[in-house]
């Protein structure tokens, strides 16, 4: 009792025991069992309650918020705002933006907290996004008191920080968002699961009561089906109605009227596809496949597959033909039957098209009269002669060895051509 109420003295605790529990003791007796030493009593006494005690006593009236950063497959930074109700651990609102501002954050609070609410406090950190104007509008427009956490003290907003960690561990660590819309859809589905289908240790552990669910985040489909048909999820045999689909179970199992879900369905794991789609979409958006060859052919598909595999998992040519069957890359480009010899033939075909590709690069990135920069490699490769080689420097100090000369446009920072010569 003394630890939970640090403002109480020995006489107050004695009065509480006598009036509420019927235990009559004197303050001197309380001093004998007091958790602090009598000589240090004045040092441990405080004039107000601790922060943790305040948050626990007013949890139902406190709303906490914070930002987290998510990175897309194209390495774009997205900012996620989470507004959490501490009493029920319910996520009131969750939204994504590329450029968080005070005006955008204030609008999210207006959407999360209605005009007629029972909240009394809002906890957030001292980020520049939470400006003084935003705090004044929260006090004047929504009617809540703003509590700023101390500098560099994330433990003061521990409930929201823990919720952000849960969001990363259970959602963002397993899925890579493609863009802002994709991330918003992912979080919308996960928030519905978090608010309705996920047990919370702080609640018992138990599920959140249905009366506390927000209409903005309905329960996920799996939980809705479980509520509509509890027999299917109770572990008892499921009696099915006649159906026209005869491919769900083998013939021996279809002759029985009582079948369990394990007999009806078989689980098949699909190949990873998200990162493959991100790479192939980027290649198409840059026009790299059209620059290699205007019309689609088997050689172009092999070259594009090697480029994509080099970005996903750099390896040798032989390992490439083995590893791209573990993902959907070979299926997407129809190169499932390609061998190592096919890859080398595709590289020879690409070498023959090198002048055309350089011409397309020059037409795209170079104009008449523009400045062109060149540089030479620091190591030797293949080739015979180069008029610009005398201006370069070979780090290895080898004479008569070939080097690479690359041309680029300084305005667009795009490569224009590349070739090999001997020094």
Q: What is the DSSP string of 344-381?
A: HHHHHHHHHTHHHHHHHHHHHH--TT---EEEE-SS--
Q: Are residues 138 and 285 in the same domain?
A: no
Is residue 184, in this structure, part of any structural domain at all?
Answer: yes
Residue 224 lies in a domain: no
Same domain, 151 and 191: yes
State pLDDT tens for residues 34-83. Answer: 776 545 555 555 556 778 878 888 888 999 999 999 999 999 999 999 99
CB 305 within 8 A of CB 335: yes
Domain for residue 174, yes or no?
yes
- Is 83 a domain residue? yes
Residue 308 and residue 277 in contact, taking contact as beta carbons nearer than 8 Å: no
Residues 287 and 339 in one domain: yes
312 near 271, Cβ under 8 Å? no
SS (H, E, C) 90-143: EEEEEEEECCCCHHHHHHHHHHHCCCCCCCCEEEECCCCCCCHHHHHHHHHHHC
pLDDT at 159 over 50: yes
Q: What is the DSSP secondary-structure string of 179-190?
A: SHHHHHHHHHHH
Whole-number pLDDT of residue 19: 83
- On the CB side of 386, CA atoms within 13 Å amount to 28
pLDDT over 90 (residue 109): yes
For the beta sheet containing 414-422, the strands, ordered from the edge strand earlier in sequence to the opposite edge, are 373-376, 402-409, 414-422
pLDDT of res. 408: 56
Average pLDDT of the chain, as a whole number: 76
Tell which residue, 132, 81, 140, 135, has the closest CA to residue 111.
Answer: 81
Whole-number Å distance between alpha carbons of 331 and 69: 33
Q: At what angle do helices 180-196 and 158-167 cross, to 10 degrees?
A: 110
Say if residue 188 is in the same domain as residue 88: yes
Average pLDDT over residues 112-127: 89
Residue with token string 């005009």:
115
pLDDT for residue 86 is more than 60? yes
- Are 274 and 176 contacting, i.e. CB atoms less than 8 angstroms apart? yes
- What is the distance between the alpha carbons of residues 384 and 391, in angstroms, rounded to a whole number? 16
Calculate mean pLDDT across residues 177-190: 93
Quick one: 93 and 124 in the same domain? yes
The two beta strands, 238-239 and 258-259, are: antiparallel
Res. 31 pLDDT band, cuts 50 70 90? confident
- Bridge-based pairing of strands 77-85 and 145-148 is unpaired
Statement to judge: residues 60 and 201 lie in one domain? yes
Lowest-pLDDT range, 260-269, 321-330, 359-368?
A: 260-269
Question: For residue 158, is it within any domain?
Answer: yes
Structural domain boundaries enclosing 410: 366-422
Number of domains in the chain: 4
The pLDDT of residue 384 is: 47
* Same domain, residue pair 98 and 190: yes
Tens digits of per-residue pLDDT, 341-396? 888 899 899 999 888 888 888 787 777 766 666 665 555 444 445 555 554 545 55
Give Cα separations from 348 to 341, 353, 359 (angstroms): 11, 9, 18
Query: 81: helix, coil or strand?
Result: strand
For residues 72 and 131, membership in a common domain is answered with yes
What share of the chain in percent tops pLDDT 90?
A: 27
Query: How far is the C-alpha of 79 from the C-alpha of 95, rounded, in Å?
Result: 8
Q: Are 308 and 283 in contact (CB under 8 A)?
A: yes
Could you tell me whether strands 62-71 and 77-85 are parallel, antiparallel, or unpaired per DSSP bridges? antiparallel
User: Is residue 250 assigned to a domain?
Assistant: no
For residue 328, the model assigns a pLDDT of 86
For the record, the structure tokens of 223 come out as: 């939980």
- In angstroms, the CA 167 to CA 161 distance is 10
Q: Where residue 258 falls among pLDDT bands split at 50, 70, 90?
A: low
The more confident residue out of 83 and 411 is 83
- Same domain? For 400 and 281 the reply is no
Sheet holding 62-71, edge to edge: 90-97, 77-85, 62-71, 121-124, 145-148
Residues 164 and 298 in one domain: no
Q: Checking DSSP bridges between strand 145-148 and strand 238-239, what pairing results, if any?
A: unpaired
DSSP assignment of 254-270: HT-SEE-HHHH----PP
Number of Cβ within a 10 Å radius of residue 115:
8
Whole-model pTM over 0.85:
no
Q: Does residue 3 fall inside a structural domain?
A: no
Distances (CA, A) of 220 to 8, 91, 195: 47, 15, 10
Q: Is the pLDDT score of 311 beyond 70?
A: yes
Q: What is the mean pLDDT of residues 98-110?
A: 93
Measured CA to CA in angstroms, residue 334 lies from 296, 346, 386 at distances of: 11, 14, 40
Same domain, 75 and 153: yes
Q: In this structure, are 108 and 128 located in the same domain?
A: yes
Q: Tell how far CA 107 is from the center of its chain.
A: 23
């Amino acid at each position: 009792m003394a630890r939970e109420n640090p403002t109480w003295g020995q006489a107050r605790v004695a009065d509480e025991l006598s009036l509420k529990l019927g235990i009559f003791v004197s303050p001197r007796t309380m001093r004998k069992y007091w958790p602090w030493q009598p000589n240090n009593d004045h040092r441990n006494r405080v004039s107000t309650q601790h922060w943790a005690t305040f948050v626990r006593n007013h949890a139902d009236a406190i709303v906490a918020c914070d930002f987290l950063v998510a990175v897309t497959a194209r390495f774009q930074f997205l900012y996620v705002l989470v507004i959490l109700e501490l009493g029920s651990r319910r996520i009131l609102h969750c939204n994504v933006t590329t450029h968080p501002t005070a005006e955008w954050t204030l609008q999210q609070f207006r959407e999360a907290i209605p005009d007629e609410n029972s909240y009394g406090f809002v906890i957030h950190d001292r980020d520049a996004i939470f400006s003084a104007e935003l705090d004044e509008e929260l006090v004047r427009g929504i009617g809540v008191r703003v509590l700023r956490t101390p500098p560099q003290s994330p433990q003061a907003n521990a409930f929201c920080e823990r919720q952000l960690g849960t969001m990363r561990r259970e959602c963002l660590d397993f899925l890579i968002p493609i863009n802002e819309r994709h991330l918003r859809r992912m979080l919308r589905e996960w928030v519905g699961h978090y608010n309705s289908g996920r047990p919370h240790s702080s609640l018992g552990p138990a599920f959140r009561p249905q009366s506390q669910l927000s209409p903005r985040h309905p329960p996920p489909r799996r939980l809705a089906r479980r509520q509509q048909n509890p027999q299917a999820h109770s572990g008892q045999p499921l009696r099915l109605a006649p159906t026209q689909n005869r491919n769900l179970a083998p013939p021996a199992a279809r002759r029985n009227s009582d079948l369990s879900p394990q007999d009806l369905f078989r689980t098949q794991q699909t190949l990873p596809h998200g990162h493959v789609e991100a790479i192939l979409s980027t290649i198409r958006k840059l026009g790299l496949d059209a620059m290699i060859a205007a019309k689609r052919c088997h050689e172009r598909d092999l070259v594009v597959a090697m480029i994509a595999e080099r970005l996903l998992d750099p390896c040798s040519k032989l390992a490439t033909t083995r590893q791209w069957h573990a993902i959907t890359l070979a299926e997407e480009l129809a190169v499932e039957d390609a061998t190592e010899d096919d890859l080398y033939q595709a590289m020879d075909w690409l070498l023959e098209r090198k002048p055309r590709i350089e011409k397309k690069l020059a037409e795209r990135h170079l104009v008449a009269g523009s400045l062109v920069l060149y540089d030479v490699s620091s190591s030797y490769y293949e080739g015979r002669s180069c008029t610009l080689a005398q201006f370069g420097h070979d780090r290895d100090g080898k004479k008569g060895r070939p080097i690479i000369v690359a041309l680029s446009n300084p305005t667009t920072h795009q490569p224009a051509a590349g070739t090999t010569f001997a020094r």
